[in-house]
Amino acid sequence: MTNFSELNISESTLRSVKRMGFEEATPIQEGTIRFAIEGRDVLGQAQTGTGKTAAFGIPLIEKIDPKNPNIQALVIAPTRELAIQVSEELYKIGYDKRVKLLSVYGGQEIGRQIRALKNRPQIIVGTPGRIIDHINRRTLKLEDVQTLVLDEADEMLNMGFIDDINSILENVPSERQTLLFSATMPPAIRKIAETFMRDPEIVKIKAKELTVDNIDQYFVKSAEREKFDILSRLLNVHQPELAIIFGRTKRRVDELAQALSIRGYLAEGIHGDLSQAKRISVLRQFKENKIDILVATDVAARGLDISGVTHVYNFDIPQDPESYVHRIGRTGRAGKSGLAVTFVTPREMGYLRIVEETTKKRMTPLRPPTTDEALEGQQRLAVETLEGLIANNNLGDYRTLAAELLDNHDAVDVVAAALRSLTREPDDTPVTITEERPLPMRRERSSNNRGGGDRGRGNRSFGGGRRDNARSGERRSSSSRREGGRREGGRREGGQGRSRSPRRHEG
């Protein structure tokens, strides 16, 4: 691996990088930094966790003129969490150079951002909807932007930001450096690269092998309205020590967490609308075993360092297989086995097939447990609890009370009563779970599907087409520009006349 000192970086940036604990560059960092420092456009294909932020952050900081008070760089990220994360890392990289930086995103009072913009930041990190808001208000002056970064471009495509991206790109100078990063390269992303980038260098880092061998994977085919009761019964049977339940939208997460609490489970939800303080509090409770179940959206769960998760439940099947692998990878860590259950509505069976093709592992159909089986699971837990108390032999004065009980009651009745008091019997308290529309139907393509068509085959690619429902709740509901808002995939014919002959570099 290459040391950062070999990459033609200034002393001030090198000091910051060393302070951050970086010594050797990752493949995406080495490839991107070499070309970007030369002023080249870069199309980087790499997964999350490969060091992308430093890859574009170091050359971006290098290019900033500290004496120029205008906005010189714009970084666009799909979510406010990622925007905050990127801005924090850029701040550290640019610390010794005294670079001024501001992050702008939805959910934060726009007046505060407008006031902060008057302090003349040199780098803006923001989400597409809020950047568009500022452009429309004329509070964001982008005519001096020299470097534009699109981070997690495929995620922005998934979330319906393609039109916003095109609008933003039209508002920055055509003579600029563009760095685009994406885990996948669907046609719409390639179109952006062809239209708005100049002869980009492609730096492609091979994804790590998907290791899910130590995770038992099941699916439950269920109607939307039946999913929660089945989930409750599964929790009673499985008795997870720590579980994560993934929902597609913020509303879904809130309703699931509340419904689980009503039914007697120790559950909390986490999603993009939570304050940072609340988010930290929920994660601390989960790590300290004060809650048993974390309900989360994909966005909120990204980058979380959580160990000890025994079960993952996909209450909603994700739209892309990489999200599935990311989700179930929360369990089965450090050589331990894990269990993952995915709920699929009949219309979504094609997505299951595509996930299986990606992981190269078939999921086992799981018959939902009956109410009696759920009760049996709770009773079994009560027996284990009672046996554990006996094994600890720390019963003290309780023996005297037990003797009195046995003088007046049958021994079997006493034990049965103790077990019943420890058993959480299945609860049918009414709960509110709003039905979500299923993912768009996938067309079947092959005839060699197993199960006589029970599992719709679906396309092999998740790119392109309408994305009507996925992530529909990862946004602020608004008729105007919005963070995470859904729009139909945008189209742009023609652009700023850039060359279309990228060169490829694979790491």
Task: Say if residue 38 is in the same domain as residue 84.
Answer: yes
CB neighbourhood size of 74 (10 A):
24
Is 450 within a domain? no
Is 90 within a domain? yes
| Burial letters 134-152, b for 16+ CB under 10 A, else e | bbeeeebebebbbbbbbbb
Q: Are 45 and 183 in contact (CB under 8 A)?
A: yes
Task: Say if residue 329 is in the same domain as residue 367.
Answer: yes
Task: Say if residue 336 is in the same domain as residue 405.
Answer: no
For residue 273 the two structure tokens come to 């609308």
Task: Say if residue 183 is in the same domain as residue 264.
Answer: no
Is 430 within a domain? no
For the chain, what is the domain count? 3
CB neighbourhood size of 106 (10 A):
24
pLDDT at 358: 77
Is 101 within a domain? yes
Task: Say if residue 92 is in the same domain as residue 28.
Answer: yes
Helix (H, G, I), strand (E, B) or coil at 343: strand
Task: Say if residue 42 is in the same domain as residue 183.
Answer: yes
Task: Say if residue 100 is in the same domain as residue 53.
Answer: yes
Q: What is the CATH number of the domain that holds 350?
A: 3.40.50.300
Task: Say if residue 141 is in the same domain as residue 226.
Answer: no
Is 476 within a domain? no
Query: What is the phi/psi pair of residue 156, to 5°?
Result: -65, -35
pLDDT at 460: 28
For the chain, the farthest-separated pair of C-alpha atoms sits apart, in whole angstroms, at: 94
Task: Say if residue 267 is in the same domain as residue 340.
Answer: yes
Of 337, 371, 405, which marks where a domain is finished? 371
pLDDT at 426: 64
Task: Say if residue 192 is in the same domain as residue 295.
Answer: no
Domain limits at 13?
4-207+491-506
- Tens of pLDDT along the chain (507 residues) come to 678 888 889 999 999 888 887 778 888 898 999 999 999 999 998 766 567 889 999 999 999 999 999 999 999 999 888 888 899 889 999 998 999 999 999 888 899 999 999 999 999 999 999 999 999 999 999 999 999 999 989 888 888 898 899 999 999 998 999 999 988 888 888 888 888 899 999 998 765 444 466 789 999 999 999 999 999 999 988 989 899 999 988 899 999 999 999 988 999 999 878 877 788 788 889 888 899 999 998 766 665 657 788 999 999 998 777 778 878 888 876 667 889 999 999 989 988 988 888 788 899 999 998 888 877 877 887 788 788 888 888 888 888 888 888 888 998 888 888 888 877 776 677 788 888 877 765 443 333 343 333 343 333 222 333 333 333 333 333 333 334 333 333 333 333 344 334 444 445
For residue 250 the two structure tokens come to 């913020």
Whether the predicted model's global pTM rises above the 0.95 cut: no
pLDDT at 207: 52
Is 485 within a domain? no
Q: Are 295 and 257 in contact (CB under 8 A)?
A: yes
pLDDT at 266: 93
Task: Say if residue 249 is in the same domain as residue 386.
Answer: no
Query: What is the phi/psi pair of residue 3, to 5°?
Result: -80, 145
Q: Are 258 and 380 in contact (CB under 8 A)?
A: no
Task: Say if residue 59 is in the same domain as residue 139.
Answer: yes
